[in-house]
Amino acid sequence: MGGLITKQSTSIQQGTERFEIRNLNSGVYTVIARSSDWKYTAKLISLGNNFGNTTIKYQSNDYGSVPKSTLKSTNNLVKMQYNNGERILFKGFSSNYARVLTLVPTQRQIVDFNFIPCFDFDGHYYAVVTIGTQTWMAENLKTTRYIDGIGIPLVTDLTAWVNLSTPAYCWYDNNQFPDGNTYGALYNWFTVKTGSLCPIGWHMPTDIEWTTLTDYLAGSGVAGGKLKETGTAHWTAPNNGATNETGFTALPGGSRFNGVFDDIGVYGRWWSISLYNTNTSWGRYIQYSGNSILSSNYGWKSGFSVRCVRD
């Protein structure tokens, strides 16, 4: 059903970690194991008939074939190839918080991470990145509830979506796993205009705030490439101009026009809070084949991704 049953966080070492999940009722569940470097997703089928609180209990660690000499420590020195002028992207973690930084080193220096809270009512914590004078989410929003805990209606049916004049969200192709985890949710503008969609301390960007971002990156004609995730793991080849030198990591979450899903991997589209006229609002889009980020006006029944900016 897409709801969070339970979660457990613990410090681990290299090796095989063993956990036990107890008190699951019968059904099909998605289990996600995640660290700072990787994520593994699997389905679990339970035939149980339990009505207690579901728990995850740590069992043991089997160091097995992992030599102690390979275990990492906080003082470990990591060597890597680096050419003068190249930009390095850092992602720092502290508990649930994540911060993205990019820089072109010219000398030995200390990198400081200022961790800023950015989490929704569903318990998702978002990485953040500062670009110029603004701090943005470095991931697409995927909340299913407003900041006051009230649920946002999930609308999967094409006809029902087309006839909406009220808030709603969906997952691309109605597929939360894995698409929703990767690309976030798609929201219509009725949801955006409630003012309750972004995490506390954050808000929907105005069209002017989007322009402030692109102006800082030397204009909309080149800013898209500086915002796009590199490679073709998510963007369709050739993903022209992508450098992600900002750490914004824009992803092509697709859209929902007239109730129909389209363009995942090809386009990323994001709402602003600013009106264009009485039935459309401004948004921004990036495509796989260019390095620009362009503005356009969209009908309120469209479903797009959301990035929030810090108050």
Q: Token pair for residue 20?
A: 């036990």
Residues of the chain with pLDDT under 50: 65-66, 68, 71
Locate tokens 């994001």: which residue?
Answer: 270
**pLDDT at residue 25, rounded to an integer:** 85
Tell me: the pLDDT tens digits for 177-221? 877 889 999 999 999 999 999 999 999 999 999 999 999 999 999
Cα–Cα distance, 255 to 307 (Å, whole number): 14
**pLDDT at residue 12, rounded to an integer:** 77
Task: Report the DSSP pairing between strands 169-170 and 293-299.
Answer: unpaired
54 burial level (CB within 10 Å; 0-12, 13-18, 19+): middle
Q: Which residues contact 110 (CB under 8 A, 6 or more apart)?
A: none
List of E strands, 50-87: 55-62
> Residue 283: what are its φ and ψ, rounded to 5°?
-145, 175
Q: Is the peptide bond before 178 cis (omega within 30 degrees of 0)?
A: yes
Q: Is the peptide bond before 252 cis (omega within 30 degrees of 0)?
A: no
Cα–Cα distance, 86 to 121 (Å, whole number): 38
pTM of the model: 0.75
**pLDDT at residue 81, rounded to an integer:** 81
**pLDDT at residue 297, rounded to an integer:** 97
Task: Report the DSSP pairing between strands 202-203 and 309-310.
Answer: antiparallel
**pLDDT at residue 180, rounded to an integer:** 82
Tell me: the pLDDT tens digits for 24-47? 888 888 998 888 777 888 888 888
Cα–Cα distance, 268 to 255 (Å, whole number): 8
Q: Could you tell me if 224 and 293 are in contact, meaning their C-beta atoms sit under 8 angstroms apart?
A: yes
CA angle 125, 115, 80 (to 5 degrees): 95
Q: Token pair for residue 145?
A: 């509830």
**DSSP secondary structure code for residue 150 in this structure:** P
Q: Residue-wise over 229-242: b if at least 16 C-beta within 10 A, else e? A: beeeebbeeebebb
Q: Token pair for residue 30?
A: 């998605």
**pLDDT at residue 74, rounded to an integer:** 52
204 burial level (CB within 10 Å; 0-12, 13-18, 19+): buried
Distance, C-alpha 274 to centroid of its chain: 22
Cα–Cα distance, 175 to 178 (Å, whole number): 7
**DSSP secondary structure code for residue 210 in this structure:** H
